[in-house]
Each structure stands twice: as structure tokens, then as C-alpha cells.
């Protein structure tokens, strides 16, 4: 149980276009989803936290107009990279926390396999 999927696993796009990445909790309802970004040989950096039905909370330094997050249902969150540029090329990872988990428990994040974005 507790499987999180991401789609696509890999995407290449032209500079200036927008790209949407989906994160789905397959066998549980996720009240909270998290989006991370990982640069080569660097840590995972939390970009934003989204709660179902409300606006996402972005970490300092993350452009909310650049990285649009929608968490419209308990099983789906999307990250849209708008007007992508080569510097947005990265590995994007989502995680999800279940509706039944102990509130605010840090350890119940289930991670997706990640999406590799390459902007040409």
C-alpha cells in the first residue's frame, strides 16, 4: 500500500513552453502533497506544500507564478512549470501524506519516483 505515482517520468520541452507533472496517490487519500526539486548531486529541496482544496504554501525563494500547484482532489496534485527555461531543468519529486495519518506527523510522507524535466 501507500503508492505514489508521477507522470510523466521524463519530459523534454522547448524553452518558453509549459509542462504539467502529475502526482497521484494510488491507494490512499492524500490530504497533503509536497513538491520537491532535486539538482544533480544536491539535496531534495521542498518547493511547496499543497492541501486538498486550498492554495499551496510555497517555500521562500520559489516563484508561485512560475510553479503552479493544484491539488483539486484527494488523489491528485499537479505541478505546472510555466514558460520553462533551461534553468528549470531538474528532477521533480512529489510526496503525499494520507488523510488518516497522525496529524502533522513528519514521517508519513510517501514519495513518488520523480520526473526528470529537460528544457532545451
Contact by Cβ (8 Å): 15, 41: no
Residue 25, CB-side half-sphere exposure with 13 Å CA sphere = 27
Report 87-106 residues binding other proteins (CB under 8 A): 93, 95, 104, 106
Residue 112 in the binding site for other proteins (CB under 8 A) = yes
Contact by Cβ (8 Å): 78, 22: yes
CA distance 66 to 70: 13
Contacts with other proteins, 12-51, as mask; x by CB under 8 A: --------------------x-x------xxxxxx--x--
Would you tell me which residues interact with other proteins (CB under 8 A)?
4, 9, 32, 34, 41-46, 49, 59, 93, 95, 104, 106-107, 109-114
Amino acid at each position: 500500500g501507500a503508492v505514489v505515482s508521477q507522470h510523466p517520468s521524463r519530459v523534454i520541452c522547448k524553452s518558453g513552453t509549459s509542462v504539467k507533472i502529475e502526482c497521484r496517490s494510488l491507494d490512499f487519500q492524500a490530504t497533503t502533497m509536497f513538491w520537491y526539486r532535486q539538482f544533480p548531486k544536491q539535496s531534495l529541496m521542498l518547493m511547496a506544500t499543497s492541501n486538498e482544496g486550498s492554495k499551496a504554501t510555497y517555500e521562500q525563494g520559489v516563484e508561485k507564478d512560475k510553479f503552479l500547484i493544484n491539488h483539486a482532489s484527494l488523489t491528485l496534485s499537479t505541478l505546472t512549470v510555466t514558460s520553462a527555461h533551461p534553468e528549470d531543468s531538474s528532477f521533480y519529486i512529489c510526496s503525499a501524506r494520507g488523510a488518516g495519518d497522525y496529524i502533522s506527523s513528519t514521517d508519513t510522507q510517501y514519495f513518488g519516483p520523480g520526473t526528470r524535466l529537460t528544457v532545451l
